[in-house]
A and B are shown apart, each in its own frame.
Chain A
Amino acid sequence: MSSTRAPSAEPDAIVAVPVRHWGRWLSGVVVVLLVVWLVWSALRSGFVDAGQVRHYLFSPLILQGLRATVVLAVLAQATGIVLGVVFAVMRLSKNAVAAWVAGAYIWFFRGTPVLVQLFFWYNGVPSIFKSIDVTVPFTHTTLYSARMVDFMTPFMAAFLGLALNEGAYMAEIVRAGISSVDQGQVEAAQALGMTPLLTMRRIVLPQAMRVIVPPTGNEFISMLKTTSLASAITYGELLRRSSDIYSTNLQVVPLLVVASIWYLALTTVASGGQYLLERRFGQASSSRRRRRP
């Protein structure tokens, strides 16, 4: 086999009749008809008064609730991430006590419903501890003192409950991230004389981010919605504000629609942010990374 092959002997492009998928067409039509019928009959029944929705969407009370939801979600998630890193490192440490404490923390907070935890912080703690005093140990100097009922505001209880609960989930995510980093990376850092702390901070954690970031984005999206549980302990977030309004004017459905629209807006924005973060950190160790401009 050699010599005379014409350089332009390309095979003919294929021209063929594609297989027709009649079943797909049929099922598609059925689904579209069903959806149209559902939406149309819902609208005709007038279950949601579009005017009411528009009226309340930007009302001051709702916007206050929206802000409270965002503040609570961001603070609880940020604290949860910090707690997660701390407990993940403890869980993986050679110190048996630290590892055990971290394991117990994760076991407890993942194993009980977050709503129960919120009730516990809001109702349980003030009934057990009457006051909160921050003192310098072994002296009589008091730095901060308050009655527990004053300290444990709905916000404080919601924040503590959600953050501690989130910390347990984040600890597992961070642990998975740290474990995903090749042991050879640690050895290379050690061989260069880097201490364990420096190795963790400069070599392991940055690479663990690729594994940590995507589920953390999911956690935050989930957190945005979980804050609605704080309405049960009277914290004035989005759902609480909506229900405050409909409990006086009985416009239940329009206000639930208003709350849902805002939750959807928040989670949509968060998903966009997640996408950008993943693109940024996903590159960290991808082999196809292009040179920076």
Chain B
Amino acid sequence: MTAMVRAERVRKSFGRVEALRGVDLTVQPGEVAVIIGPSGSGKSTFLRCINHLEQISGGRLWVDGELVGYRQDGDRLHELREREVAGRRAAIGMVFQRFNLFPHMTVLQNVTEAPVRVKRIAVDRARETALRLLDRVGLAGKVDSYPGELSGGQQQRVAIARALAMEPKLMLFDEPTSALDPELVGEVLAVMRDLAADGMTMIVVTHEMGFAREVGHHLVFMDEGAVVEEGPPREVFADPREPRTRAFLSKVL
């Protein structure tokens, strides 16, 4: 079986700052991988490399068997064109910490925009799918609202529906609840839980340890740009092997 994501010694530097110093990680289809770690550990950077929002500076990164951002010809790498990169990204959903909904479009338009413009799906069908997805995230009544009229939790649920509308094979969540008021976190986590139960392959960067423990199949602890420890969440939480993992968990639990 092809791994959904395979990272080998992935490095990324911004100028002289090394954000990733050799990340090795494999995520299987249907798996929910949860990445935790202190801020500045490179979790979000790694996530952004997976859909090529950041270009890696070393190592190799594959999504569903295809190199991210490059085409391999023998032992030569060719950079992909913008259009090709965009095509690959269309199959990967991403949910951002700050939602990033399009403020000039209604909730429905936010969800139908990419299917219609990128995948060239007929407007009627895209609408149908969007309505079904918005119903699934509990926002059937907000279809004609603008993002500015919604609470943070509602906006994030729209953002999840927007990503799902592209029928992605992989969903990336970049601290999806970090910008939310505490009482709104639950509704977003519930949608993500529902998605996980449905078999979606997910990589979630989060500080929600409860979610990591209950929903995650695969817990990854990152520090200083590398994976320090990984394994089944219950085992890692109960009995961390690495001192750095232990130190981090003792602070957040």
Contacts and interface: CB of A to CB of B under 8 A. Distances in A.
Contact of B144 (A187, A193, A196, A291): A291
Given A184-B98, A187-B100, A188-B96, A194 B145 contact: no
- Size category of the B interface is 20 to 34
Name which of B89, B98, B113, B146 has the most chain A CB atoms within 10 A of its CB: B146
Name which of A188, A202, A203, A292 has the most chain B CB atoms within 10 A of its CB: A188
Interface in B82-115: 82-83, 86-94, 96, 98, 100-104, 113-114
Contacts of B88: 193
Contacts of A185: 100, 102
Name which of B53, B90, B148 has the most chain A CB atoms within 10 A of its CB: B148
B166 A193 contact: yes
B144 A190 contact: no
A207 B91 CA distance: 26
Interface string B112-148: 0110011100000000000000000000000011101
B118 A192 contact: yes
B117 A206 contact: no
Given A285-B104, A292-B144, A193 B96 contact: no
B146 A289 contact: yes
Contact of B118 (A187, A188, A194, A203): A194
A190 B149 contact: no
A292 B109 CA distance: 14
Given A188-B102, A190-B89, A289 B149 contact: yes
Nearest to A286: B148
B218 interface: no
A210 to B, nearest CB: 9
Contacts of B103: 207, 284-285
Contacts of A289: 146, 148-149
B21 interface: no
Interface in A268-287: 284-287
A139 B101 CA distance: 53
A127 interface: no
A222 interface: no
Contact of B53 (A191, A193, A196): A191
A190 B53 contact: yes
A291 B104 contact: no
Given A207-B104, A284-B104, A291 B145 contact: yes
A53 to B, nearest CB: 47
A288 interface: yes
Interface in A128-180: none
A192 B113 contact: yes
A52 interface: no
A194 B114 contact: yes
B82 A187 contact: no
Contacts of B51: 191
Contacts of A190: 53, 86, 89
Contact of B100 (A188, A202, A288): A188
Given A284-B103, A287-B148, A187 B96 contact: yes
B217 interface: no
Contacts of B102: 185, 188-189, 203, 207
Given A187-B53, A187-B96, A187-B100, A193 B149 contact: no
Given A184-B96, A207-B103, A202 B113 contact: yes
Given A184-B100, A188-B102, A193 B87 contact: yes
A179 B207 CA distance: 32
Interface string B148-178: 1100000000010011001000000000000
Given A184-B100, A185-B102, A191 B144 contact: no
Nearest to B83: A195
Contacts of A292: 144
A97 interface: no
A286 B103 CA distance: 8
Contacts of A265: none
A195 B82 contact: yes
B247 to A, nearest CB: 32
Contacts of B98: 184
A287 B149 contact: yes
Interface of A: 182, 184-185, 187-196, 198, 202-203, 206-207, 284-289, 291-292
Given A184-B98, A190-B89, A207-B104, 19 more contacts: A184-B100, A188-B94, A188-B96, A188-B101, A188-B102, A190-B86, A191-B51, A191-B53, A191-B92, A191-B93, A192-B118, A192-B166, A193-B88, A193-B114, A194-B117, A195-B82, A284-B103, A286-B148, A289-B149
Q: Which 4 A-B pairs have the closest CB atoms?
A: A193-B90, A287-B148, A188-B100, A285-B103
9 contacts: A188-B100, A188-B102, A191-B92, A193-B88, A193-B119, A194-B117, A195-B82, A202-B117, A288-B148
Interface of B: 51, 53, 82-83, 86-94, 96, 98, 100-104, 113-114, 117-119, 144-146, 148-149, 159, 162-163, 166
